[in-house]
Structure 1
Amino acid sequence: MAGLLRSILRAVLGAGVLSLAIGTAAAQGVRPAGATELQNRYAALRPQLEKNAYGGPIYIESAEGSRSSRGDIYAVLNSPFAAVNAALADPAHWCDVLILHLNTKLCRSGTAGGTTQLDLRIGKKFDQPLVDAPSVVFSWRALPQAADFLNVQLDAQDGPFDTHDYRIMLEAVPLDGGRTFLHLGYSFEYGTASHLALHLYLATIGRSKVGFSTLVARPGAEPELVGGVRGMVERNTMRYYLAIEAYLGALSAPPAQQLDKRLQAWFDATEKFPRQLHELDRTTYLEMKHREYRRQQAGQQ
């Protein structure tokens, strides 16, 4: 146990690898709502979507359990549902989305035993050999495409550093005016060793990191941004939402220009929230991601 804990601590304190994993976590396990329930959810959240601190129609929820956490984001996309459906119902397109995240070093789609899979390599916020980036293999499935509902689900039983039972779920419904209402949810569990390492990280190097939600203020005190595990969940939920938005926004560009457009768009969007999301300067991020994308494309050929 001590050796495992030391290994986890090295990863956590050195790179935030576990923090990415926790960023895709859920206390009760995310579940699809269905088209009608998701439309009802949109109606209920309209006041929060129209007026918030994010500068756009976004609503974030997070929760922490004893050995799990949850992150959900609801957002209105200025993209027609047909375009969202066509793009995100294709597993290969998900790799172009996921590679935008700082900690995603590689994503490859394939099949095994008749199941579509995404092999996602999670690493540090700088260049590193793939052998040093742990693999999380997701099974990928989607409901049959429909004119009014999109549901995609990724599941992985095993993950790095004493983590397990990942679930990433996306669902969307059309709105009027050529818009789309999207829900992105994450569920994830972790064992005793990673639980201890995570809380040590949050008590030391990660103690100043915050999320987006405000805590209920004590009488006479100013509201504070949520920290700890919930703050971690919210940061990564936002990063993945911005990756989806950047990918969809770049589809209108010529194919040869789409990669640069979505990389620039993702970086620009994260820099709107520097306290939560700033990690690298633009040049470092773009150079790193171009190298990682070339490596990803070479492996797919």
Structure 2
Amino acid sequence: MLKVVQKSGWVAMMLLGLIGLLCVGAAHADVAAPDTDSAASLRAQYLALAPQLSRNQFKRPLVLHSVESPSHLRGEIYALVDYPFTVVNQAFNDPSHWCDMLILHINTKYCQASTRPGGTTLAVSIGKKDYQPLGQAYRVEFAYRVATSTPEYFDVGLSAKTGPLGTSDYRIRLDAVAVPGNKTFLHITYSYAYNFAGRLAMQAYLATVGRDKVGFSATNSPVSGAPGLIGGVRGVVERNTMRYYLAIDAYLGALSTAPAQQVEQRLQNWFTATERYALQLHEVDRATYLAMKRREYQRQQPAR
């Protein structure tokens, strides 16, 4: 019985890493309708969130939200980044760049983009927090779609019908708009649905290795693993949302580096950034992370 619980807990942790894929998405009726996803709407959000962007617990212009319902989970981040919109647009309107960014997350073991007559897909493998054969990781096929791309606004999405342990309807979305000061305002969201089996797997994880882990939101709930911080499934979602936002920022931050050094710079950037939130995000030491990710990055390169 213990072995089953441990396996379910690991897979739950793995799938929650998957759904955290720096996403921007919606799989529920309470998600905003398409007309609210326009450049004008996102700029309005930027203005409305100005006080929170300028002063918050993250010490950077960032706002994080998470929502849990009986069968859905969603996380989202709004963030102002100090990069021109053209740079951000070029970076994330290319599916291969998404893979170079996604591999920074500690649970992403592999990502490969491919284009066929039916469209572009990202094959993503999610696994443990150490190096492992791909056969031991869980593979998910994401459909990649550029919904909108203009000189001042883009909207890119990933979607997958099914995932591990009773999860389904993954929606990952990133939209961004140009704002004054030659900067970009990002909106990263993700959502997924889960059934009874998925709920049991999450409960197994949260009762074992995830028992004392916390997120970022303040709470008075007694189930939180630390006073004042959200725990449970929302804590997991918030941690992964932050990891993927930091992956986006780490990718963008390395673009000014010489091409031959960009991979190493991304890895260093990501680990340094996550350690600023060590209470929530620390898992391994820098040397362990770098050694693992160098191998994983090489593994996902196409054969030449």
- Specify if TM > 0.5: yes
For 1:28, the equivalent position in structure 2 comes to 28
Q: Is 1:241 the equivalent of 2:245?
A: yes
Match of 2:136 among 132, 139, 153: 132
For 2:178, the equivalent position in structure 1 comes to 174
| 1:137-148 superposed matches below 5 A | 137-148=141-152
Amino acid of the structure 2 residue aligned with 1:295 = R
Equivalent pair of 1:11/1:18 in contact (CA under 8 Å) = no
Measure the CA separation in 2 of the matches of 1:273 and 1:21.
20
Measure the CA separation in 2 of the matches of 1:15 and 1:166.
15
Equivalent pair of 2:9/2:208 in contact (CA under 8 Å) = no
Where 1:209 maps in the other structure, the secondary structure is: coil
Amino acid of the structure 1 residue aligned with 2:13 = G
For residues 233-291 of structure 1, the C-alpha deviation after alignment (integer angstroms, 9 at most, x for no partner) is: 10000000000000001011111000010100000000000110000100000000000
Measure the CA separation in 2 of the matches of 1:38 and 1:101.
26
For 1:257, the equivalent position in structure 2 comes to 261
> 1:23: how far off?
3.3
For residues 18-54 of structure 1, the C-alpha deviation after alignment (integer angstroms, 9 at most, x for no partner) is: 3314535867375551111111111111110100000
Amino acid of the structure 1 residue aligned with 2:9 = V
For 2:200, the equivalent position in structure 1 comes to 196
Measure the CA separation in 2 of the matches of 1:98 and 1:211.
20
For 1:72, the equivalent position in structure 2 comes to 76
Q: Is 1:279 the equivalent of 2:283?
A: yes
For 2:273, the equivalent position in structure 1 comes to 269
> 1:11: how far off?
4.5
Equivalent pair of 1:15/1:125 in contact (CA under 8 Å) = no
Measure the CA separation in 1 of the matches of 2:143 and 2:207.
34
Q: Is 1:103 the equivalent of 2:114?
A: no
C-alpha change, 1:159 and 1:8, in structure 2 (3 Å) is farther
> 1:167: how far off?
0.8
> 1:15: how far off?
8.0
Where 1:16 maps in the other structure, the secondary structure is: helix
Aligned-residue CA RMSD (Å): 2.3
Measure the CA separation in 1 of the matches of 2:16 and 2:127.
11
For 1:226, the equivalent position in structure 2 comes to 230
| Aligned length in residues | 294
Equivalent pair of 1:119/1:135 in contact (CA under 8 Å) = yes
C-alpha change, 1:11 and 1:292, in structure 2 (3 Å) is farther
Equivalent pair of 2:215/2:234 in contact (CA under 8 Å) = yes
Greater mean deviation of Cα atoms: 70-79 or 290-299: 290-299
| Structure 1 unaligned regions, length at least 5 | none
Identity %: 51
